């Protein structure tokens, strides 16, 4: 075995390939547009080449490259051949999908073992590996839902969700405007600012701090989202009630984190400020706030997610006829599952972007902190 490497993914992929060959064709016999013989042969060949590459003693990068190309081309061909044949896939089709998935897995394993010397390559790998993983979740989802003809309302294939996103951009945009740009942003800014202001106040008045902090800590464990119906009742169906929910949800994390952050500066540094006879506000601005930044940003990041959740869930309790939560709850009632998925995909995207923006601002502000210096 000195010329060959061992690889269980490669062995099983080969085995699956053989089994698939025995159980051809790829589609049920009455399928409207069956696979061309060349296409089937191509897929089998690609998978076989990929599987054999697993055993070859060539450089890791070369193996990964071969696997990357073969696994994804095979999957592409298999999914492409599905159009018009939904629900007609045979066992052999799924065996080949499984085989190409194993190759994809092997590809990830190989990439994960690569230790590049330059930092750029490292960064690229750090993005590429999860991207391949994500792609395979989508590939399997697409192939299984379409191949096995999973009922649309149960789980629509990613391609259908994408079509829905593309065809309903105006609706989605209106929902985002209503939920994110009105309710979430307003609530987030006011909630965080209020939490911060009260934290400063609590810092000045120790009695207040000792009273508020345990309550604030407790609040983080409570299902605050439950105030949504009350807020809808008080502030009406429009975005103001959602903003109120967001304010309540974001207030306490900000309060607790800022108070914790304000005590984060070291006693030596504080003694230094004392030795300069520096006043409360000077010490606050020059020492304690910069030292608290990491905590404050932590709250801002937690709140970015909480704010979106708050606004969307609050819309389940009543809204005008626009908004992400409204869309989710009404479209699911009509069993338009693809629209719900589209809305969720948009929510996920906005959530990540929101968080990402806060994280970038954090990086720009607290680059000096050991946890952000990298290296």
Partner 1 sequence: MNASASSVVSARKLGLTFQTSDGPVHALSVVDLEVEKGDFVSFIGPSGCGKTTFLRVIADLEKNTAGEITVNGMTPEEARKSRCYGYVFQAPALYPWRTIEKNVVLPLEIMGYSKTEQKQRVQRTLDLVNLTGFGKKYPWQLSGGMQQRASIARALAFDADLLLMDEPFGALDEIVRDHLNEQLLKLWAATEKTICFVTHSIPEAVYLSTKIVVMSPRPGRVTDVIHSTLPRERPLEIRETPEFLEIAHRVREGLRAGHSYEE
Partner 2 sequence: MRSETFASRIGPVLTIVATIIVIWYAAAVWMNAPFQRDLDRRGDVTSTTMEFIAKTLSQPKPIVPAPHQVAQNVFENTFLRKVSSNRSLVYHSWVTLSSTLAGFAFGTLLGVLIAVGIVHVKALDRSLMPWIIASQTVPILAIAPMVVVVLAAINVTGLIPKALISTYLSFFPVAVGMVKGLRSPDIIQLDLMRTYNASRWQTFWKLRVPASMPFLFTSMKVAVAASLVGAIVAELPTGAAAGIGSKLLAGSYYSQTIDMWAALIAGSLLAVILVTIVGIGARLIDRRMGVRPA
Q: Of the candidates 41, 59, 119, 181, which one interacts with partner 1 according to CB under 8 A? A: 119
Q: Of the candidates 45, 272, 335, 360, which one interacts with partner 2 according to CB under 8 A? A: 335
Q: Say whether residue 112 binds partner 2 (CB under 8 A).
A: yes
**Closest among 323, 318, 320 to 347, alpha carbons compared:** 323
91 binds, among partner 1, partner 2, none (CB under 5 to 8 A by kind): none
Tell me, what DSSP letter sits at residue 36? P
Q: Say whether residue 120 binds partner 1 (CB under 8 A).
A: no
Q: Say whether residue 113 binds partner 2 (CB under 8 A).
A: yes
Q: Say whether residue 117 binds partner 1 (CB under 8 A).
A: yes
Q: Say whether residue 67 binds partner 2 (CB under 8 A).
A: no
Q: Say whether residue 60 binds partner 1 (CB under 8 A).
A: no
What is the spatial distance between Cα 254 and Cα 301, in angstroms, rounded to a whole number?
A: 10
Q: Choose between 123 and 173: whose C-beta lies nearer to partner 1.
A: 123
Piece in contact with partner 1 (CB under 8 A), picked from 5-13, 116-124, 150-158, 359-367:
116-124
**Closest among 158, 180, 176, 178 to 168, alpha carbons compared:** 176
- Sorted by sequence, the CB contacts under 8 Å of residue 75 that are 6+ apart come out as 97, 100, 101, 104, 139, 143
117 binds, among partner 1, partner 2, none (CB under 5 to 8 A by kind): partner 1
Per the structure block, which two tokens stand in for 41?
């042969």
Residues in the chain: 375
What is the spatial distance between Cα 258 and Cα 328, in angstroms, rounded to a whole number?
A: 35
What is the spatial distance between Cα 345 and Cα 341, in angstroms, rounded to a whole number?
A: 6
Binding residues among 141-160 for partner 1 as defined by CB under 8 A: none
Tell me, what DSSP letter sits at residue 205? -
Q: Of the candidates 36, 61, 173, 215, which one interacts with partner 2 according to CB under 8 A? A: 215
**Closest among 138, 158, 134, 49 to 99, alpha carbons compared:** 49
What is the spatial distance between Cα 40 and Cα 21, in angstroms, rounded to a whole number?
A: 9
Q: Say whether residue 214 binds partner 2 (CB under 8 A).
A: yes
Q: Could you give the string, one character per residue 15-34, with x where binding to partner 2 holds by CB under 8 A and - elsewhere?
A: --------------------
**Least distance in Å: CB of 143 to partner 2?**
19
Q: Is 69 exposed, middle or buried (0-12, 13-18, 19+ CB in 10 A)?
A: middle
Q: Of the candidates 262, 291, 292, 313, which one interacts with partner 2 according to CB under 8 A? A: 313
Q: Choose between 106 and 288: whose C-beta lies nearer to partner 2.
A: 106
Residues forming the site for partner 1 (CB under 8 A): 117-119
């Amino acid at each position: 075995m000195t010329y060959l490497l061992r690889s269980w993914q490669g062995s099983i992929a080969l085995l699956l390939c053989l089994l698939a060959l025995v159980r051809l064709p790829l589609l049920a016999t009455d399928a409207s547009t069956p696979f061309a013989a060349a296409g089937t042969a191509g897929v089998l060949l690609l998978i076989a080449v990929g599987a054999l590459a697993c055993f070859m003693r060539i450089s890791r990068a070369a193996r990964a490259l071969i696997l990357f190309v073969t696994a994804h081309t095979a999957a592409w061909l298999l999914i492409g051949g599905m159009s018009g044949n939904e629900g007609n896939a045979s066992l052999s089709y799924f065996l080949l999908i499984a085989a190409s998935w194993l190759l994809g897995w092997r590809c990830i394993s190989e990439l994960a073992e690569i230790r590049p010397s330059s930092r750029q390559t490292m960064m690229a790998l750090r993005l590429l590996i999860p991207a391949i993983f994500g792609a395979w979740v989508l590939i399997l989802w697409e192939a299984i839902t379409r191949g096995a003809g999973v009922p649309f309302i149960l789980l629509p294939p990613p391609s259908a969700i994408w079509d829905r996103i593309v065809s309903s951009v105006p609706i989605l945009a209106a929902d985002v405007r209503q939920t994110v740009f009105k309710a979430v942003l307003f609530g987030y800014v006011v909630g965080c600012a209020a939490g911060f202001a009260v934290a400063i106040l609590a810092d000045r008045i120790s009695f207040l701090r000792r009273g508020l902090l345990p309550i604030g800590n407790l609040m983080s464990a409570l299902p605050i989202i439950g105030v949504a119906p009350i807020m809808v009742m008080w502030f009406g169906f429009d975005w103001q009630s959602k903003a109120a929910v967001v304010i309540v949800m974001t207030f306490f994390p900000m309060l607790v984190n800022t108070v914790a952050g304000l005590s984060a500066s070291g006693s030596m540094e504080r003694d230094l400020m004392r030795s300069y006879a520096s006043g409360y506000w000077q010490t606050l601005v020059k020492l304690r706030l910069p030292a608290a930044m990491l905590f404050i940003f932590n709250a801002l990041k937690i709140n970015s997610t909480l704010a979106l959740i708050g606004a969307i869930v609050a819309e389940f309790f009543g809204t005008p006829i626009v908004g992400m939560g409204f869309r989710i709850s009404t479209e699911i009632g009509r069993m338009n599952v693809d629209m719900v998925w589209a809305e969720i995909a948009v929510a996920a995207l906005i959530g990540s972007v929101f968080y990402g923006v806060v994280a970038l601002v954090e990086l720009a502000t607290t680059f000096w902190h050991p946890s952000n210096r990298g290296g």
